[in-house]
Chains A and B, each alone.
Chain A
Amino acid sequence: MKDINRRDFLKTAAIGVSMSVFGTKFLKASDESPSGYRIGILVDTDVCVGCRHCEWACKVAHNIPTASLESYSDNSLFKEYRRLDAASLTVVNEFENEKNPSLPVYVKKQCMHCEKPACVSACIVGALSKLEDGSVVWDTKKCIGCRYCMVACQFQIPTFDYDKPIDPQIRKCDLCYDRRKTEKLPACVSICPTEALLFGERDEILRVAKNRIKRKPDVYINHIYGEQEIGGTTWMYIASKSFDNLKMPPLGNSPAPGTSESIQHGIFAYFVPPVTLYAILGTIMWLTKRRSNENKENRIEFEQEKKGVDT
């Protein structure tokens, strides 16, 4: 079912692209080509032990109240699948390992920091922005809380404080923007005991990921999730089983905001289409008005028309 969906969506995207032929070279977020240093983070699910220290570190780094680190060794939490919420910007979930049931697969979830982020394209006020290094951050001073970013995000990452009447926030991983200002690694990367989260330059990280798959072909499936998905992401995953079974959405390779931006820029190409429409309507108005004035001069016709109206 999902597979069929993807094919449809690709077809959809193809039509969208053909539509964009009518658009112009107006700068689109989805067109910006990655340049310079781009962060990449590799999640090696084979190395992750599910200690959830990243969750703890993340909360501490973002001033979210949290219990002590010791309490995080409670494994019963893994029984149900957890998602992000306003108080947790990252969560680790446990998945069954068919090869060895006693050693489950752990998958960390957080914002993927897309190369071509749909949320940035969608945000009505530009509160979300993609920085040079590839991280996607949110500006509390701009956001109006419309939650369109949540609609747009293919990974369903941004969350919202539904229970706060004043200053509710859109929350998602910001790759520890504040920590990185002081040349520190993101909190989760820094605390990970096994470096299951490998932080580096994206190209270098990709190379390492490919090497690991090559070296252990019996362990990893030959797929780096995030290398190509919706135009590539900052966070990438390698795993021993299909990502569909790890609740990672099966996504195509075309950027999420591509079609929508093509349409948008088609409609608004340098304001040419709206202005043209305005001119056309004005012309029609002028032409028809002249005709109706001519009609008015023709008394008989006018009388007839008036008669028609009155009765």
Chain B
Amino acid sequence: MLKKLTYLTLIVASTQFFTACTGSSNKSSDSDELAITDSLASDAPLELSEEVIGDVIQNVSSPVEMANLIKSSGVEFSQKILNNTEKVDEYDTSFKRALNLGVYSADLGYINTFDKNTIVVSYLLAIKNLADGIKVGQFFDFNSLKRVATNSNNLDSLMEISVSSFNKMDSYLRSQKRSNVSSLIVTGASIEGLYITAKAIEATKNQDLIDRLAEQKDIVNILMIILNNYSQNESFAELASKIAVLEKAYESVKITTEFSEPKSMEKDGKLVIVQDEKSIVEISDETLKAIIKEIEVIREFVVL
């Protein structure tokens, strides 16, 4: 009896110890069950390893800063510029689902910034449907998200839960050697972020937004690195070729750095550090028009 009890306790202790060491992340070892079975499957070797591409993917910024800047520019919220959630059933390949999962997540960030909780649920539902379609729906607790979303005081919590869900999903995809899916999600989110910004610029001609759009030159270069890594796949190659045109349009954007004295101050026990470098952006009207045009072309390709 004692032997059995000792054995049982050992197993439970080992299990708990393992759980403690690895945190609370969701796990599944059944990779066959979660494998993508259509257009994203490929055995061709990658130029960059999963680890390197994972680092590169992290470099694509969140939509929060851009959405906040759009709001502070004074532009009115416009639902018509967002991707329509009724299209969700038309995305019937893993490639399209992953891309538009990114698109709807950027839309959700924009909606959240403008506190438009009346339409949040339909976007959450679209995200959940697409996530299920690429076998990562387990990271989105739709009922919790819906409960938080329908309480107008809880939109910050909604952002925390949804960003956290995306982070867990991204970690999971990378652990399953499915960085190609993560790549499409961040590409979709980035393109939608650029598109929303472009539309806000057209409406306001706001110089801060124009500068911010111009500064995304490096991000577009990063997207090219990511997509080129999977260009042996026809769909990736087609998307990369469209982003290459945008990269070309960005070529004449000039970004220089101005140096100043670094500053740090402590106020009420809190530390604030001011960077000693400042970027100066130069972009002509012609270049801006060309960039916006290419963003629209890519966005149409992504959401159609």
- Binding between chains A and B: no
Binding site for B on A (CB under 8 A): none
B: residues with CB less than 8 A from A are: none
